[in-house]
Amino acid sequence: ELKVEQNPLFLSMQEGKNYTIYCNYSTTSDRLYWYRQDPGKSLESLFVLLSNGAVKQEGRLMASLDTKARLSTLHITAAVHDLSATYFCSWGGSEKLVFGKGTKLTVNP
């Protein structure tokens, strides 16, 4: 059975600090997605990672993919309050998409 595991599920951090969210998956794929969801809102696609070693950055967020380790990371640099949200990773195949349980990030002033 395909599993996508995110950790931590809850993350409380101070502004200005760095942290990493991890996304492990059980079946080989060359496709991994990251999304953001604000409370009561829809989802926003952040990154689509399509190959081993792929790294993408947008502002204070950087995502990477290691297909050999079956691991993707979402690194947060110098966190700010506006980054508070729930972050989901998703494993993708041509006919399947499986989500992690999400990481609820709270950035405290």
List contacts with other proteins (CB under 8 A).
31, 33, 37, 41-45, 48, 50, 86, 88, 90, 92-99, 101-102
Q: How far is the CB of 66 from other proteins (least distance, A)?
A: 19
In angstroms, the CA 46 to CA 16 distance is 21
Please confirm whether the linkage preceding 8 is cis (ω < 30° from 0).
yes
DSSP state of 27: S
Q: How far is the CB of 71 from other proteins (least distance, A)?
A: 20
Q: Which residue lies nearer to other proteins by CB, 77 or 102? A: 102
Q: Which residue lies nearer to other proteins by CB, 13 or 50? A: 50
For 46, list phi and psi in degrees, rounded to 5: -100, -55
Q: Which residue lies nearer to other proteins by CB, 88 or 107? A: 88
Indicate the residue type of 47. Answer: F
